[in-house]
């Protein structure tokens, strides 16, 4: 039985065409700045997002670590929402490695409200309190359910930050999805932020890698910190080629993932309207609210027995993520399995 894996869009495997691009990539030593394919990827992503320079890193978490480090000195404060990946899913790295303190705001579905953020920020808190040095925004928002941030809200935050002397970091792991869902140019979003990190290994389907973008001066600093963190790499062209191939061939097709996610949400919502509202599904993530039962672990275990894999985000929260390795047949099967489990009585732990 072939599995339908909806745990994450990180589970994708390179296509045959991507593997060919990787196998034939021109390579050099990236620590010496001599990998032409890596250099080309960094320059391309930086230009797409409206920045001077880019840096290839092995993970989105490292991209965020470096991006925040460039903006927040040890002892400084980063603001982010309480569901943000930087504060919830990076194992306290910003505190442990960067000495960064954080405060969070409540954000329903992860959506940015610039007025609330501005009200809590303290750019100059004086000698006895912690001063806000940067704010992190996530777009799309993972734990919010694939929420796309409103461009006007981000522009308002940027306008205030300019006057307040506060920097902005974008966790754009799934920024590609936001761009495809709305048609807003990548540069119009990325250019609002001082640093931004985007993933290649989620919806774009590359096997590994993210790119951090910023000014040339900051990226030069980030390159030193990448090496200091033990992530200086050599012949990265074999990986960067996958990213370039993904940008050429996998970006526009994200719309297919979004359509399949909505179809999945509509079908499950017809079975159990209390579990999911399809109107909230904006991109490729479907969050199931299982407050009415079953528990998320029970649903995941029962679905796995029938060949469908889902993520457990909490006792009453499950997540489904569509991606290029799950086609229409996979969605049909997921609807049959999950719809049956929700309909036929797994309503209690």
User: pTM to 2 decimals?
Assistant: 0.96
Residue 212 pLDDT: 98
CA–CA dist 156, 65 (Å, integer):
25
pLDDT for position 252: 98
Which of 49, 59, 108 has its CA nearest to residue 208? 59
Residue 174, φ and ψ in degrees, nearest 5: -115, 35
Within the chain, which residue ranges are assigned CATH 3.40.640.10?
12-249
CB atoms within 10 A of CB 344: 9
Query: Average pLDDT of each block of 10 consecutive residues along the chain (349 residues)?
Result: 94 97 97 96 98 98 98 98 97 96 96 97 96 98 97 98 98 98 98 98 97 98 97 97 98 98 98 96 98 95 97 97 98 98 70
Q: Kindly report the CATH class assigned to 12-249.
A: alpha beta
pLDDT of residue 338: 98
The whole-number pLDDT of residue 346 equals 64
Any idea which architecture 253-343 has in CATH? Answer: Alpha-Beta Complex (3.90)
**Which phi and psi (to 5°) does residue 229 adopt?**
-80, 0
Return the structure tokens found at 210.
């993210």
Specify the domain boundaries for CATH 3.90.1150.10 within the chain.
253-343
């Amino acid at each position: 039985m072939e599995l339908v894996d909806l745990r994450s869009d990180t589970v994708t495997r390179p296509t045959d065409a991507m593997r060919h691009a990787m196998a034939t990539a021109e390579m050099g030593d990236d620590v010496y700045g001599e990998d032409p394919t890596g250099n080309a990827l960094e320059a391309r992503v930086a230009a797409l997002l409206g920045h001077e320079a880019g840096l290839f890193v092995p993970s989105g978490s490292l991209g965020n670590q470096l991006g925040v480090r460039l903006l927040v000195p040890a002892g400084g404060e980063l603001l982010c929402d309480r569901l943000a990946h930087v504060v919830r899913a990076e194992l306290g790295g910003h505190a442990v490695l960067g000495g960064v303190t954080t405060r969070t705001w409540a954000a329903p579905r992860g959506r940015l409200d610039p007025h609330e953020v501005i009200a809590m920020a303290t750019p100059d808190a004086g000698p006895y309190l912690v001063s806000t040095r940067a704010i992190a925004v996530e777009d799309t928002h993972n734990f919010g359910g694939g929420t796309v941030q409103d461009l006007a809200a981000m522009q308002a935050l940027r306008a205030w930050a300019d006057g307040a002397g506060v920097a902005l970091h974008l966790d754009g792991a799934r920024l590609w999805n936001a761009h495809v869902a709305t048609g807003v140019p990548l540069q119009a979003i990325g250019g609002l932020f001082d640093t931004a990190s985007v993933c290649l290994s989620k919806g774009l389907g590359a096997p590994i890698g993210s790119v951090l973008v910023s000014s040339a001066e900051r990226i030069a600093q980030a390159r030193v910190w990448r090496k200091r963190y033990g992530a200086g790499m050599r012949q990265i062209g074999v990986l960067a080629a996958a990213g370039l191939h993904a940008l050429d061939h996998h970006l526009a097709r994200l719309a297919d993932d979004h359509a399949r996610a909505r179809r999945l949400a509509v079908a499950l919502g017809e079975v159990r309207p209390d579990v999911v509202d399809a109107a909230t599904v904006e991109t490729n993530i479907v969050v199931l609210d299982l407050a009415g039962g079953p528990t998320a672990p029970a649903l995941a275990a029962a679905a796995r027995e029938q060949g469908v894999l889902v993520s457990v985000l909490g006792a009453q929260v499950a997540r489904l993520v569509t991606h290029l390795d799950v086609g229409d047949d996979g969605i049909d099967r997921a609807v049959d399995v999950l719809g049956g489990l929700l309909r036929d009585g797994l309503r209690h732990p």
